[in-house]
Amino acid sequence: MPRFWFQIYDTEGEPRIEREGLELSDLDVARGEALRRLRNMACATGVEADEQRYFAVDVLDELGNTLVRARLSETVETIGFAIDPVLHAARLSDALPAALPDIRTTH
């Protein structure tokens, strides 16, 4: 069976490569392992407001050639301010045409 190594990247630091590698049946299995590791990395770290994070897992062969790169980025952006939902619904209700009484709220 071929041996594959996994190199891990994220926005926090330098790439890390495992020393031992894994014996896997083929490149498709190695690709699946890279995706599993990528998703685990993303789940293990939270993204704060107004932050962007990047994750990547490379699959390398015995010569150090990159065969597959799985990448994921997460971005959280603050778009607007929190609005009082009751006040917002009342203003929206006042702005709706009278022809739409079934979606007008009563306040």
Give the residue extent of every domain in the chain. 3-76
Pick the CATH number of 3-76 from 3.30.70, 2.30.30, 2.120.10, 3.30.200: 3.30.70
For residue 92, what pLDDT is reported? 62
For residue 22, what pLDDT is reported? 94
Instruction: Determine what percent of the chain is predicted with pLDDT higher than 70.
Output: 69
- Please, which residues have CB within 8 angstroms of residue 7's CB and are 6 or more apart in sequence? 15, 16, 17, 18, 57, 58, 60, 66
For residue 42, what pLDDT is reported? 82
The reported pTM is: 0.65
Range list of β-strands (E), 13-105 = 13-17, 22-23, 51-60, 66-76
Q: What does the alpha-carbon distance between residue 85 and residue 97 come to, in Å, rounded to a whole number?
A: 20
